[in-house]
Structure 1
Amino acid sequence: EVSGRSRWAITTCEVVTADCRTHDNNPVKNRLWGDWRDTKVRDAVLKGTLEYIGVDAKVSTGTLSKTEHSRFLEIGFRSGNLVKVRFDQGVTYWRSAYKNPSHQTYFDLFSEDVDAQSSRLAELNVAVEGWVMPTFLFVKTQ
């Protein structure tokens, strides 16, 4: 095992994200890359997913206009090393790869069963890809 829970120094995580789009503006339904219809359920599932893998999570939601476009990820390791990653396009640039079978990318965005949704996301094993246009990804180690 190269990385995983036993090698992370991180036990807490804070996620700041924007409110869900309204249901009328959600063209993709029941796919991993679709939008949740309910911000509270999405936030609870995100918190539950992180807690499922042993990370105490805080999820904060704000308006799209007040949420920073780029995203940052900091990962600390027991060795004391820290990796900081900045995603220029935000998280939505990355998606489930088209080569994944459709049954693997199905996700019931209308379910309010937070525990089932959280474990499903935590145990998910799909290939991930970026969009056609390139993006900047900045990685810094300390």
Structure 2
Amino acid sequence: MITRGKVSSPGALAERVTLAPPSQEAGTHRVEFAGELDGSIRNFGTRLLEVIERGLGRGLIPDAAEVIRVEYSDRYLNSPLPLALFLDFIGEVRTKYRDCWLRDELRLRVASMRDRPAFPFPPTKVWQDWTNDQQRDATLAAACEYAGWELDLASVDKRAAPHSRRLDFCLQGGGVVKLWFDQGFGYWHVPREGGGHFRFSAPPEQQGESIACMAGRVQGQGYETYVFVA
């Protein structure tokens, strides 16, 4: 098995709500961005990390810290493009802070896709969703394995999944670098003229490699989004 975790039996889906983190939390910074991250998918993570660290006025990972685990919760992580951007970003953080990286453990928490209405046509584009939990979860696992992560994946009832899209870099000794994304990695899209074809019918291992090595360009939505960092 290349993934561990459990799947609970989903019930009725909860209404979508976006919650911001408590702005009064000590040391919380809000970093805004929009079109400055437009460009190649392959160095998206470099651009995002540069914008965040420029907004913070310091490095994302504290000096002398040791990263033991990455955790991410996103109830809408259901399509190839956001997954590719997410992996590119955490991969860039790992590369930049390799000297303080102890383990490549990644814990992902996503929401079950069951009980979603069926679409009339099969997905063919990187921004479209997988059609079921099994296909999505197997491809998530394959993409993370290809990118060098030891994945612990939990697919839970959507009502039990947090509304916020939160990314944690867990540190030795109990510290945590926390990031709350306003719209997650789904904020960016592939320009229509950019193609964006994806073979959802391919085996999960091939889909995973395609995601981890995804090429092309992305752009924002034309309005600002933000991330809180604490």
TM-score w.r.t. length of structure 1: 0.73
Query: 2:182 & 2:117 partners in 1: Cα distance?
Result: 27
2:101 pairs with 1:18: no
> 1:87-111 CA distances to partner (integer Å, 9 max, x unpaired)?
122443x233316620xx11122x2
- For residues 28 and 98 of structure 1, the distance between their equivalents in structure 2, rounded to whole angstroms, comes to 20
- Report the TM-score, using the length of structure 2 for normalisation: 0.48
The CA distance in 1 between the partners of 2:166 and 2:120, in whole Å, is 25
Mapped to 1, the partners of 2:141 and 2:209 lie a distance apart of 11
How well do the aligned residues superpose, as a CA RMSD in angstroms? 3.1
Cα drift, residue 121 of structure 1? 0.4
Q: Against the structure 1 CA distance between its residues 90 and 28, is the aligned structure 2 distance closer, same or farther, given a 3 Å change threshold?
A: farther
Structure-2 change in CA distance of 1:27 and 1:95 (3 Å) = farther
Q: How much does 1:65 deviate?
A: 2.3
Match of 1:33 among 107, 127, 131: 127
Cα displacement (A) at 1:51: 1.0
Larger Rg: 2
Residues 1:45 and 2:136 aligned together: no
For 1:95 and 1:27, the matched residues in 2 are separated by 23
Matches of 2:203 and 2:213, distance apart in 1: 16
Q: Which residue type is aligned with residue 135 of structure 2? A: V
Of residues 49, 67, 70 in structure 1, which corresponds to 2:164? 70
Q: Quickly say closer, same or farther: Cα 1:95–1:136, change in 2 above 3 A.
A: closer
Percent of aligned pairs sharing the same letter: 24
Is 1:129 paired with 2:219?
A: yes
Please give the secondary structure, in 1, of the residue aligned with 2:123: coil
Gaps of 5+ in 2: 1-45, 47-91
How far does the alpha carbon of each residue in 1:49-72 deviate from its partner, in whole angstroms, 9 at most, with x for none? 111111101111122222112111
Distance (Å, rounded) in 2 between the aligned partners of 1:57 and 1:74: 15
Task: Provide the rounded CA distance (Å) in 2 between the counterparts of 1:26 and 1:68.
Answer: 29
Larger RCO (CA under 8 A, 6+ residues apart): 2
Alignment match, 2:81: none
Cα separation, partners in 2 of 1:45 and 1:4, compared to 1, 3 Å: same
Q: Structure 1, residues 5-54: CA drift from partner, whole Å, max 9, x if none?
A: 55442401111111226462477721111110121121111111111111
Letter in 2 for 1:39: D
Q: Distance in 2 between matches of 1:24 and 1:63?
A: 18
Q: Distance in 1 between matches of 2:123 and 2:135?
A: 15
C-alpha change, 1:57 and 1:74, in structure 2 (3 Å) is same
Structure 1: 5+ residue runs without aligned partners? none
- Count of matched residue positions in the alignment of Structure 1 and Structure 2: 133
